[in-house]
């Protein structure tokens, strides 16, 4: 059997690499540095490969596919999202594209999302910084007053696997749940007593708005100036979906004008840049009621191992003539 070449664009958990390397007919090359290759370098490195195991931070277009050569069979994306890959170009060339959805990812992201909600409501990050700076000199009845979650309204924008898990956490904390999605889910409503609302009504009635939608032309800047004007001025906005779903400049202006209670995000509109425009007066990092994590919502050992195994298995299945379980093209 001829040797097939697999190129991994940057280091991933060893569980996936080991699965690939068990196959003697595979030559696995891992780009050793945790950096994104330039397009020029990527085109050079993928030449002659049969499979590319890419990350969400790698933009894989038709040029890169052609640079690999006509033998390229699969692009296994180490992520749930796949907006970094030109799916039409892949389809045109007969290249399989896979992603890595799993229960572990949904659970980790949902936990992280709810941790951000709690941290915003109870001002945990602010209080931590205050205490570390040596500013705590005794109990004060008005020190870092936050907001109770019990009895408050959680509005979910998008009701996929992650949204439903966030709802289950919210119910444990005594929150009332509402959701907006392109499809109603009567069973979810029956099981949770959740309300289905229009997007506009959900924004207006929610104390916490949590985003769980994919990045599509229809969802880009879904949260914009118009949407923010509908929200309560003390409401919290949480984004663990995709950065460009939120117009961050609009959110920044709302925060500076005190027309939004707080913002927590794990993804950024111009990622990896924290702010799209560093020349203006608005900066996320300067606001105490903003909590930022560096795209780590799924960063648990269990989850990242599961993702690596799924990506690797997709490659093995394609080489064996099977349709990978998580093929998107």
**Residues acting as catalytic residues:** 242, 271, 295
| Residue pair 63/309 in contact by the 8 Å Cβ criterion | no
Which has the closest alpha carbon to 7: 69, 62, 63? 69
The one-character DSSP state at 285 is G
> What is the b/e burial string over 60-69, where b = at least 16 CB atoms within 10 angstroms of the residue's CB?
beeebbebbe
- 150/175 Cα distance (integer angstroms): 5
Residue 161: Cβ within 10 Å count: 17
Alpha-carbon separation of residue 300 from 27, 72, 215, 228 (angstroms): 28, 31, 23, 32
SS3 of residue 6 by DSSP: strand
Cis amide leading into 272 (omega within 30) = yes
Residue 323: Cβ within 10 Å count: 11
| Residue pair 201/229 in contact by the 8 Å Cβ criterion | no
Pairing of strands 176-180, 96-98: unpaired
Which has the closest alpha carbon to 25: 54, 51, 64? 51
Alpha-carbon separation of residue 122 from 79, 129, 132 (angstroms): 31, 13, 17
| Residue pair 24/6 in contact by the 8 Å Cβ criterion | no
């Amino acid at each position: 059997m001829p040797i097939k070449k697999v190129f991994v664009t940057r280091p991933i958990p060893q569980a996936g690499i080991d699965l690939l390397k068990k196959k003697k007919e595979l030559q696995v090359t891992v780009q050793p540095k945790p950096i994104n290759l330039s397009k020029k370098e990527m085109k050079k490195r993928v030449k002659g490969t049969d499979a590319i195991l890419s990350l969400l931070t790698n933009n894989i277009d038709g040029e890169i596919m052609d640079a690999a050569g006509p033998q390229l069979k699969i692009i296994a994306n180490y992520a749930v999202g796949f907006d970094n890959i030109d799916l039409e170009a892949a389809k045109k060339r007969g290249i399989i594209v896979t992603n890595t959805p799993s229960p572990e990812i949904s659970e980790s992201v949902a936990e992280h999302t709810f941790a951000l909600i709690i941290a915003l409501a109870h001002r945990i990050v602010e209080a931590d910084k205050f205490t570390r700076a040596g500013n705590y000199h005794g109990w004060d009845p008005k020190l870092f007053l936050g907001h109770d979650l019990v009895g408050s309204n959680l509005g979910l924008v998008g009701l996929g696997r992650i949204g439903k898990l966030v709802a289950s956490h919210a119910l444990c904390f005594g929150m009332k749940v509402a959701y907006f999605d392109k499809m109603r889910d009567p069973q979810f409503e029956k099981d949770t007593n959740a309300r289905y609302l229009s997007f506009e009504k959900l924004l207006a009635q929610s104390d916490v708005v949590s985003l769980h939608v994919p990045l599509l032309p229809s969802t880009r800047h879904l949260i914009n100036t118009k949407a923010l004007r509908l929200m309560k001025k003390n409401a919290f906005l949480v984004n663990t979906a995709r950065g460009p779903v939120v117009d961050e400049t609009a959110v920044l202006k709302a925060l500076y004008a005190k027309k939004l209670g707080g913002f927590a995000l794990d993804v950024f509109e111009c990622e990896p840049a924290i702010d799209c425009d560093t020349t203006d007066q608005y900066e996320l990092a300067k606001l105490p009621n903003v909590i930022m994590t560096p795209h780590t919502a799924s960063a648990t050992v269990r989850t990242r191992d599961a993702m690596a195994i799924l990506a690797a298995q997709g490659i093995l299945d394609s080489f064996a003539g099977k349709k990978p379980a998580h093929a998107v093209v």
